[in-house]
Amino acid sequence: MSDAILQVRDLSAGYDERLILEHVSFEVQRGEVFAVLGGSGCGKSTLLKAILGLVRTFGGEVTFDGQDLLSAHGRERQALLSRLGVTYQDGALFGSMTLAENVAVPLEEHTDLSSRERFSIAQAKLELVGLGGFTTFLPSEISGGMRKRAAIARAMALDPPMLMLDEPSAGLDPVTSAGLDRLIARLATILGTTFVIVTHELPSILSIMDRCILLDRTARGVVEIGDPKVMHAESTNRIVRDFFDRRAEDDDLDPVRTERTTP
């Protein structure tokens, strides 16, 4: 038995009749930091939502911890999803609740903890991401980068075995972003948490990821899977070369050149 925590097989997904991803297959091993890479608009967020069953899928299979995630229903699906922490690209914090209340929502749903106990845990998770002093703040009262981190704290509320983060470091300054990378690496080694990290910013993640998958808009899916360092050094695929060379050398985002990835 392989030790894959997440298996995606032949997954096709899109919106309405429009296919964004075709025949995507990959596996994430338990405890690894797995990155989903690709330029803006190539379908990274769509892949994440397809895995969670939040967008329309046109065939394919997703297995999480040995159980089928797409065909699960009702309580079974909720139980599965509660063991999967997710952050969305824009944070998706509940605007009418304080940060501590936001983090406490999964605890309230899935544990018997008293409200004082929930608050203690929420406080600890917020401290973990450097927001210990902001428990009583509303999401609208903090910066975008802080909202990102609060969303990560909420995703970690139940200490799930796997965390899926959509663009966690976008909008963070380099120092905070590097700190976040160190936190991710530390959680992966200490708690054995598996990470699936969606990003278009290569430098921020290159140092901590074990394996990655590169998506492309024209290919409508996976271009290559593997160790990013090997891909960077050896790949002969033009799309892989374009992605790594541009981002690794000049890590500023040049919109004109980014657009040119699509001929």
Ligand X SMILES: Nc1ncnc2c1ncn2[C@@H]1O[C@H](COP(=O)(O)OP(=O)(O)O)[C@@H](O)[C@H]1O
Write out the residues near ligand X by the rule CB under 6 A: 15, 20, 38, 40-46
Residue 245 beta carbon to ligand X: minimum distance, rounded to whole angstroms: 20
The 10 Å Cβ neighbour count of residue 4 is: 18
Whichever of 51 and 157 has its CB closer to ligand X, that residue is: 51
Residue 258 beta carbon to other proteins: minimum distance, rounded to whole angstroms: 23
Whichever of 115 and 262 has its CB closer to other proteins, that residue is: 115
Whichever of 10 and 141 has its CB closer to other proteins, that residue is: 141
Whichever of 118 and 247 has its CB closer to other proteins, that residue is: 118
**Paired strand residues for 6:** 28, 64
Within residues 77-106, the interface with Mg ion by CB under 5 A covers 89
Whichever of 80 and 219 has its CB closer to other proteins, that residue is: 80
Distance CA 9, CA 237 (A): 23
Residue 167 beta carbon to ligand X: minimum distance, rounded to whole angstroms: 7
Among 19, 70, 80, 225, binds other proteins (CB under 8 A): 80
Q: Is 174 in the site for other proteins (CB under 8 A)?
A: no
Q: Is 71 in the site for other proteins (CB under 8 A)?
A: no
Helix (H, G, I), strand (E, B) or coil at 28: strand
For residue 15, the partner it binds in other proteins, Mg ion, ligand X, none, with Cβ less than 5 to 8 A by kind, is ligand X
**Positive or negative CA dihedral for 3, 12, 198, 95?**
negative
Burial tier of 114 (Cβ tally within 10 Å: 0-12, 13-18, 19+): exposed
CA dihedral 125, 131, 137, 143 (to 10 degrees): -130
Instruction: Locate all alpha helices (DSSP H) within 5-93, ordered by sequence.
Output: 44-51, 74-81
Among 7, 12, 45, 194, binds Mg ion (CB under 5 A): 45
Residue 48 beta carbon to ligand X: minimum distance, rounded to whole angstroms: 8
45 and 198 in contact (C-beta within 8 Å)? yes
Q: How many alpha carbons lie under 13 Å from residue 143 in its C-beta half-sphere?
A: 8
For residue 253, the partner it binds in ligand X, Mg ion, other proteins, none, with Cβ less than 5 to 8 A by kind, is none
